[in-house]
Amino acid sequence: MGISICLGLLSVFVLPAFAGSWTKYPPYSGGYGSTDGGLTGLGMWCPAYYVDPSIGRINVLAAAEGFLGGYGWAKATGWITQWWPRAPGGGGGCPFAYAWDGNQYKLDNNLMPSSELSARSEGADVEDYYKLEQNLVRKNGKESVLIGEFEEEHSYIDKIGLFAVDHDPDVNIAITQEGEILTYRNPISPLSANDKTGRNRLREIESKDGNVLDSVTFFEGFPGDYLVLNFGKVDSENAKLILRTDMKKQFECIMVQVLSIAGSWQTIEVLVPRCYWSDQAVNLSPYVIKGQELLVRLFWKWHHRLDYVGLDTTRQEKYEIHDGNMVQAVHSTQGNVKALLAENDDKRVELVSGEQIQLDFTLPRNTKEARTHVLYLKGHYVHENPSESAEKIEKSGTDPIVSLDSKIRMDGQVTMWVVGIPGFTANWATFSLKILLWIFDDTVGTYVTQTVLKEWGAEIWFEGAYSYTWNFDQDVHTTFNADLSHRYEIMIGLEALARGFTIGAGDAYVNIDLYNSPYGTIVQYIYLSWT
């Protein structure tokens, strides 16, 4: 029943003045294209659609329920990544950490984000202290992490370390960008959080509930935006600002500012958010005047999201630090690199796109009831600027013909059932599914190619229940003509349509479910080549 359709592929004869290639692996620098859904008929309800292309995943749920008949449909699309002929890959990369969760290495977050700032100092090393978001489960008696370079960067790593902070279960651990460990319990929300228009945005940042699909759960700041946080009078000598941010960008980030004696805002810290939600901390204790009102301004130099901010004024609690003993460090192409990563000695291990390092550490047993793991890296990365290809493009003045190759995996289930009197109720239903690939010209706002990768459908009469499981695992290929000065979005989506009609007493249910799929949509890689 599956068919493949290719639409709108353009080709013209051009003399090959240059050639190049570019490969993108997860995690992807995704964004949201469109989500849509609708219902028709009496008693119809429940369309849902969910897009999270940042890790190459798209989920859709389309349901149609009606006691007389009708249909429901849902569509979800999201751009997986962007490509620009003048500077393929762009900025915004860096190595990523993966934590062993007992079954697999699970993506955690990017590392050394402040290397974007060091790029202005010709690639000076930076130190990164990162509190792992994922639970680290022992693997054969060892703590195991994976460091992978899946962006278009070239990393130079001098040292990698892992240490554990053991603490009481009612104490939380935060770590500043300088590596200072702060303990906190229950931070208080500011009395107000006014933006540059004077609007109070407290609702968005008073709890850790950041959901990128729900804009009321976070504050999204753009260059020039700011929030003035009023914490009222502080009667403690301790003041620890706890934040939760995401959406890493290049260079300037979020500036933390307090009022100087002269009454002007002075910057005391520059926060560098990571790709995914993570906690950050700033020690404000030196800037607190006991009994006076504490005002803090967060100033956005680039586009970032803020999920939460609070102020903890409790004393520093007791904790114990244990340094992990590196047992092994195996580079995917260089082999054993333990000796190079165990010390700060300016002997660096290089990591390029597609390479990874598996590291195993031993740590003593937990001396308290709770443990927090912190990963330490010293090094830097530089953007792999394909300058030779870019220069050839500029000199040739010829628009490239681009070939796209990818591998996509998807599965889901169509479920139909009828609730009524057995023998007196029947159900007629149809469903259709389309998996689509788009190349979108973001500069002019038009689609260059639109390809239906696969299409399914069925029309049936049934009593009781009907279930159909489907899957898609395919190598994808398409070509398009690119304009030198345009930016392109590579988009993958799913369209689901369900129609149902009931004869007799009862309700008809037609459900196309990708949301509960074990895989959803997984894009394993995107490879571009051009001539």
Each residue of 310-334: pLDDT tens digit? 999 999 999 999 999 999 999 988 9
Cα(292)–Cα(286) distance, integer angstroms: 13
Measured between its terminal Cα atoms, the distance across the chain in Å is: 36
Residue 425 is predicted with a pLDDT of 52
pLDDT digit string, tens, across residues 100-130:
988 888 888 889 988 866 544 456 899 999 9
> Taking a C-beta distance cutoff of 8 angstroms, is the pair 139, 392 a contact?
no
Cα(168)–Cα(367) distance, integer angstroms: 10
Cα(328)–Cα(230) distance, integer angstroms: 48
Q: Which residues fall within 8 angstroms of residue 298, CB to CB, at 6 or more apart? A: 221, 226, 227, 229, 254, 255, 256, 257, 306, 309
Q: What is the SS3 assignment for 515?
A: coil
> Which among 278, 231, 222, 232 has a CA at the least distance from the CA of 252?
222
- Exposed e or buried b for every residue in 310-349, given b needs 16+ CB within 10 A? bbbbeeeeebeebebebeebebeeeeebbebbeeeeeebb
Instruction: Give pLDDT < 50 ranges for the chain.
Output: 1-18, 42-46, 66-68, 87-92, 119-121, 386-396, 505-506, 515
> What is the pTM assigned to this prediction?
0.64
Residue 127 is predicted with a pLDDT of 94
The two tokens of residue 97 are 């950490």
The two tokens of residue 124 are 């000076």
Q: In terms of DSSP H, where are the helices of 281-379?
A: 338-341
> Taking a C-beta distance cutoff of 8 angstroms, is the pair 71, 39 a contact?
yes
Length of the chain: 531
Rg (CA), the chain: 26
Q: Which amino acid is at 93?
A: G
Cα(377)–Cα(370) distance, integer angstroms: 23
Question: For the chain, what is the mean pLDDT?
Answer: 78
Residue 168 is predicted with a pLDDT of 95
Residue 344 is predicted with a pLDDT of 86
Cα(216)–Cα(211) distance, integer angstroms: 9
